[in-house]
A = this chain, B = another copy of it.
């Protein structure tokens, strides 16, 4: 899944019609590319076709010259652009990424550090094709830990009064750093619909509950009070409606009457780390296609 030649990965979706698989495969083949993986899905009710296709492109040398690096800047962008144009002729939207590129990721944090440490250490271990370029905190609690990892920490305090200005500052920062993905690593502020709209790139959140969830805050207290035997965590894209964005991944862990709220919180921390890390990895590998309020995950 990893080693070797850079590949292109396209995520496509659009109205279903006969021959889509053949035409996509044919287009790639005619240009000398070799498909490594191709996975399709049809939403029968909605009549929508989805595809993830990954291929080794051929960048033919012009007039005997050496080929440019297939993952190199302009060449990949060109290849992506060509494919997107082709997809449009089929009535399909496409997003193309190169396996050689590492997305620029910002972590938004508050005080809790479990997801923060987990994601940073996984990043260092090469667990996902992304680079954490900034940590943005509304509190200073994780500034030192970020520094310890050699990561720039940006303190942007947020209060009801300063929220508009704070989000503007966050957006400036994200633009300046060319951030392509924001991960809310237990960031305890709600991003406004305006922020989501203006950022224009994906935001992944970890919800510390199974969805559908208990209404209101403090899910572990509510779970304990209701006497549930499982607690859950849900990673989803943040949309303008909080906690209503498309679900990427969910998991649960078993609890018993012996577990107090403290234990639920501790077990929840473990679960949140796992679920968020998996969702991030799938996203960065180009395996997640969101449409409407759902996702297709080509795992």
Contacts and interface: CB of A to CB of B under 8 A. Distances in A.
Interface of A: 1-3, 18-23, 25-26, 28-29, 32, 34-44, 50, 113-114, 117, 121, 125, 127, 148, 210-214, 226-230, 232, 246-252, 256-260, 262-263, 266, 269-270, 274, 293-297, 299
CB-CB nearest 10 A-B residue pairs: A227-B294, A22-B25, A22-B29, A18-B34, A229-B250, A257-B296, A21-B35, A21-B25, A19-B29, A25-B25
A194 to B, nearest CB: 25
Nearest to A289: B257
Given A22-B28, A252-B252, A1 B259 contact: yes
Nearest to A278: B270
Contacts of A252: 230, 232, 252
Nearest to A255: B250
6 contacts: A18-B29, A21-B25, A25-B25, A210-B210, A211-B226, A229-B247
Given A26-B26, A294-B227, A297-B257, A266 B127 contact: yes
Contacts of A113: 125
Nearest to A211: B228
A46 to B, nearest CB: 11
Contacts of A42: 36-37
Contacts of A266: 127
A50 B29 CA distance: 18
Contacts of A229: 247-250, 297
A39 B42 CA distance: 13
B35 A37 contact: no
Contacts of A250: 228-230
B210 A213 contact: no
A2 B262 contact: yes
B227 A295 contact: yes
A2 B1 CA distance: 31
A44 B294 CA distance: 32
Nearest to A290: B227
A26 B213 CA distance: 46
| Residue from A50, A212, A213 having most chain B Cβ neighbours under 10 A | A212
Contacts of A295: 227, 257
Nearest to A25: B22
A260 B44 contact: yes
Nearest to A295: B227
Contact of A227 (B29, B210, B232, B246): B246
B232 A230 contact: yes
Contact of A38 (B18, B34, B40, B114): B40
Contacts of A230: 210, 232, 250-252
